[in-house]
Amino acid sequence: MKRDVHFKKVYNDRDLDWLTFNARVLQEAADPTNPLYERLKFLAIFSSNLDEFFRVRVSKLRQLKKVDKAIRRPLALKPNKNLKSILAEVDRQQELFGQIFRKQLLPELSKKGIYLLELDAFDKEHRNYLERFFVDHIQSHLQLVTSLKASGGIKDGYIYICVEFKESEELVFLSVSVPEIGRFIEVPHPSEGHHLVFLEDIIKLNVPLLFPGESIASLFTVKVSRDAELYLEDDYQGAWITQIYQALEQRQEGQPTRLLYEGGMPNRVRKSVAKQLGLGKADMVKGGSHHNFSDFMEFPDPIRDPSFLYSPMPPLEHKDFKANPNFFKLIREKDRVLHFPYQKFGYIEDFIQQAAMDPKVSTIRISLYRIAKDSALTQALLKAIDQGKDVSVFVETKARFDERNNLDWGKIFEERGGTVHYSFPNVKVHSKILLIGRLEHGTIRNYAYIGTGNFNAKTAKIYCDHGIFTADVSITKDLEQVFLVLQRKVLVPRLNNLLVSPYNSRLGFEHLIQYEIEQAQLGQEATITIKMNSLEDKGMIDWLYRASQAGVKIKLLVRGFCCLVPGVKGLSERIEVISIVDRFLEHGRIYLFEHGGDQKMYLGSADWMKRNLDHRIEVLAPVFDKEVFEELKEILMLQMSDNVKARKRKQNAENLYVKQRKDEKGIRSQYEIYQYLKKQK
């Protein structure tokens, strides 16, 4: 295909399309086929997602508003326009959120005899009990904030009750956080059923006890979102980063980004709070009387009804590792693959534990991005250090929201005697790689693991990921080069097979797509099938557009935001995009290229985002083993065939469920994958 073919470039806005993804989470809360408490959890996930979105993405846009237009113009930055569109969509989704909660889920809870009561529904028995409960269990824990400008002020993400007094214009704020008793309290009542109330409603009921002699004018709940650290390197390059940072040098980290306030709050109170926080009208978001729905992840189940939750899907044994726990022997024979959460994450922990105790093992090298606070994996690494192994750990200290925990673990490894390497300036290490050196027949043989997900047992229970064990020298030799980069022993790795950002992954993917284009032009049936979290990089999107124009059939499974617009005549007619939101979070990355009977597949940590290709160290491995290849392809095809939880993306960014034909079997891919792996022998 000629490289000078012109077409109108069409892209979805990243932030608006992310909101489209969060709308899919909301769809799961509205889906009556999901168990009741799982629907509550989807509301919690939606709420938590939105909080992080405001802390990170909206914060960035708010800060960019302060940058001189002369700097913004060449980068096509229009933060005011984007913020307006974002806030309008957030308002629409918040309205839908409230309808799902009040008109669907609360009535369903009531049918089961579980009543979540609000303040205006308290009767005399409730009030008498809750006054005693407040004095005995809550009052001494409350913290009073009298000035939002003071150091400390209102904490990020916490709920506060704004108290307005009649005799003065003074406002005070009461924190709503008593970890000892939680957010939801059951109240004894003579009538049938279980009566639950919000902690903040108990506090509201008893505010007069805290201010004797004062007349209360109004009580309303509020929550402030504060911005997280800016990582501009994820989105911009070179001199532009320097100029933007210089323009924002007076910026204070943790500045308020959004005020979520209870509907009905008087305008005078809103203005006063906004003034103290330095927020404008656009930063004020009206909500219901209760915030922080992320707490519904822990909503009490007083009747222990099994139907409230998904049926158990215990992690499966791997057919090979179960029969023979000698990891080195098995991996020497052939490559092996694991799929989480369907199979046990413990195999990775056991592999490192076995290496720690094996006298022939001399070195263990691993990159850690999000480290669990305590896990069998970290204990196995410490055990290896104690056993005298040369343990080298790369710890990413810029993993957002996990910075402190990762630093703490780095210090522990160092104090124990391990070698610890930390982050590079302007580059995150996002790869999920492990390399173990073992003395065999007088020489060191390397055993590797390359995955799509973090070395984290907790997230492995809910994130769908894949990982390959291999002793293939063509892979392990390249991986040695990657670890030399992490250890700062070489600047540029010498690579033959791995795709490693920011060195050769972009060019490697471009060559793979170009080859499919050439095959299509020769009359071959060429297809590209990709599963990833996010698709944002315009360069890669343009390559997919070119491939579509050349006749390549393209199927994409993009769980999160997707800036590519499918189905545009003359541009992306041969591109189909689906997204799956279900019981587990889709997190894997698989890239499959096929033509004329030939196939190539890569698996690894990188999405097609600019940051993943240009500003992070990511590792993707070719899948050489035939059995592993077919297993991964079968799983990928099951997901592409999903007609229960898949949504087909259209030009208008709607979230339309893939429709089952009348004669078609329902395929819920996450359940089908579990059964597929369960049948393996």
Binding site, by residue number, is: 49, 370, 400, 463, 559, 587
Can you spell out the DSSP letters for 630-675?
A: HHHHHHHHHHHT--SSEEEE-TT--EEEPPPPTTPPP--HHHHHHH
The DSSP secondary-structure symbol of 315 reads P
Q: Report residue 8 as tokens.
A: 């109108």
Taking alpha carbons only, the member of 12, 13, 15, 43 closest to residue 29 is 43
List residues forming the annotated binding site for ATP.
49, 463, 559, 587
List residues forming the annotated binding site for Mg(2+).
370, 400
Q: Which residues form the catalytic set?
A: 430
Q: Report residue 369 as tokens.
A: 């991005």
Read off φ and ψ for residue 256, nearest 5 degrees: -60, 140
Any idea of the CA torsion for 343, 344, 349, 354, to the nearest 10 degrees?
A: -90
Can you spell out the DSSP letters for 372-416?
A: -SS-HHHHHHHHHHHTT-EEEEEE-TTSTT-HHHHHHHHHHHHHH
Dihedral sign computed on CA atoms, order 16, 17, 21, 27: positive
Rg over alpha carbons for the chain, rounded to the nearest Å, is: 27
Residue with tokens 């499959």: 592
Cis peptide, bond prior to residue 341, ω within 30 of zero: yes
CA 421/CA 410 separation, integer angstroms = 8
Dihedral sign computed on CA atoms, order 591, 613, 19, 228: positive
Taking alpha carbons only, the member of 88, 86, 118 closest to residue 102 is 118
Crossing angle between the packed helical segments 669-678 and 626-640, to the nearest 10 degrees: 150
Can you spell out the DSSP letters for 170-226?
A: -EEEEE---TTT-SEEEE--SSSSEEEEEHHHHHHHHHHHHSTTPPEEEEEEEEEEE
In contact, 633 and 592? CB cutoff 8 Å: yes
Taking alpha carbons only, the member of 336, 335, 334, 330 closest to residue 677 is 336
